Copies of this chain bind each other. A is one copy, B any other.
Amino acid sequence: MNQDVKHLLQSGAALTDRTLERLLPTPDTQPHSIHRAMRHSTFAGGKRLRPILCLEAARMVAGSHELDTPAAELGAALEMIHTYSLIHDDLPALDNDDLRRGQPTCHVAFGEATAILAGDALQTLAFQIISRLAVPPGSVVSILQAVSDAISTGVGSDLPGGLPYGMIGGQVMDIESEGVKPSAELVERIHRSKTGALITVSVVAGGFLAGADPEMIARLRTFGEKAGLAFQIVDDVLDVTQDSAQLGKTAGKDTASDKATWPAIFGIEQSLHDAQELIEDAFAALAPFGTAGDPLKSLALYLTTRKN
């Protein structure tokens, strides 16, 4: 791995971990069980990609590290949302996973009732944190709109600006597609919703935090959408090509459960080609930022060349 991106990942993860440590209730806060469950899953070894994308987007737009504290808090909120979605996804009624990143999943360690409530509470805590970001109220409201849309069922009803993609909508489509031969269109829709929307909003919300104008936001959105889809395609490919030890999770699970994946439809070679093309589009979206866009670009490149 390139030394620059290695440094970005390590220092971004360290800042995120310190911020999560500060914002999560301590293990001795009453009631104990739920706070321990929230910490168990949040500190289970994630790479902190979403917070790092948020932080680098804020730095790129602000042209400095001045907003690192609120950007890290926003990143921590996004990581809590990611963690809540994993806790609920792992439940017996959903994917029924006992292990994640080599650790017992939340319901295995704390029981199903606590796991359900810990997921609920992590979503809520994310909004508590967003509500107290030290940026102007107008920016908080933009962030709240973007984040809540991105983790919704993918519709805003008659809410203005409703997004076509939302995390929960992706989870529902993913569950419903199991055992059915999915179309290319459906796989793309699931990917853009289930993982893409939260990755995209991590970049976009970092931009709102730093006061990005609408044109910048549009570029950040394109970057996030392209890089997010490339990330998921590579994830699908790794599930087929890597073994469980390399992945740190059960390999081949997508094929075993007949999940909607990119290689199942397009094959591995075409999948890697598609990911490459998406990354080039993502790079193009950041062109006007010049060298200030380099950190986000090297993160995007890492996402598509990683081995786990």
- When A23-B158, A31-B176, A123-B123 are in contact, do A168 and B117 touch as well, CB less than 8 Å? yes
Chain multiplicity (copies): 2
Nearest CB in chain B: distance from A142 CB, A: 9
- In the complex, what residue of chain B is closest to A170 when comparing beta carbons? B31
Task: Please tell me if the beta carbons of A125 and B137 are within 8 angstroms of each other in the complex.
Answer: no
B155, A34: Cβ atoms closer than 8 Å: no
Is A232 interfacial (CB-CB < 8 Å)? no
Closest B residue, CB atoms, query A95 = B113
B121 touches A93 (CB 8 A): no
Q: A residues 19-48 with Cβ under 8 Å of B?
A: 22-26, 29-31, 33-35, 38
Known contacts A124-B123, A131-B141, A151-B124; is-contact A176 B93 (Cβ 8 Å): no
Q: Chain A: how many interface residues by the 8 Å CB criterion? A: 60
> Is B31's CB under 8 angstroms from A169's CB?
yes
Considering the chains assembled together, what is the distance between the CA atoms of A129 and B151 in angstroms? 13
In the complex, A292 has a CB within 8 A of chain B: no
Query: In the bound complex, do residue B128 and residue A148 qualify as a contact, i.e. CB atoms below 8 Å apart?
Result: yes
If the complex has contacts A23-B157, A158-B22, A159-B128, are A120 and B117 also in contact, measured as CB distance less than 8 A?
Answer: no
Bound-state Cα–Cα, A38 to B154, Å: 14
Residue of B nearest to A171 (CB): B117
**Which residues does chain B contribute within 8 Å of A131, judged by CB atoms?**
141, 144-145, 148
- The answer to whether A299 has its CB under 8 Å from any CB of chain B is no
A interface SS class? helix
Contact in complex: B34, A121 (CB < 8 Å) = no
Is there contact, CB below 8 Å, between B144 and A127? yes
Residues facing B in A83-104 (CB within 8 A) are: 84, 88, 91, 93-94
Contacts of A23 in B (CB 8 A): 157-159
23 A-B contact pairs sorted by A residue (CB < 8 Å): A22-B158, A25-B155, A26-B157, A30-B169, A31-B153, A34-B169, A88-B116, A88-B117, A91-B113, A93-B116, A113-B175, A117-B172, A119-B120, A121-B153, A125-B152, A125-B153, A128-B149, A128-B156, A131-B141, A131-B145, A131-B148, A136-B137, A137-B140
Give 8 closest A-B pairs by Cβ, nearest first: A93-B112, A137-B137, A131-B144, A127-B148, A128-B148, A131-B145, A31-B172, A93-B113
Task: A23-B159, A120-B168 are known; give 15 further A-B pairs, CB within 8 A.
Answer: A23-B158, A31-B172, A38-B153, A93-B111, A114-B172, A123-B123, A124-B153, A124-B168, A128-B145, A128-B149, A131-B145, A132-B145, A132-B159, A136-B137, A140-B141
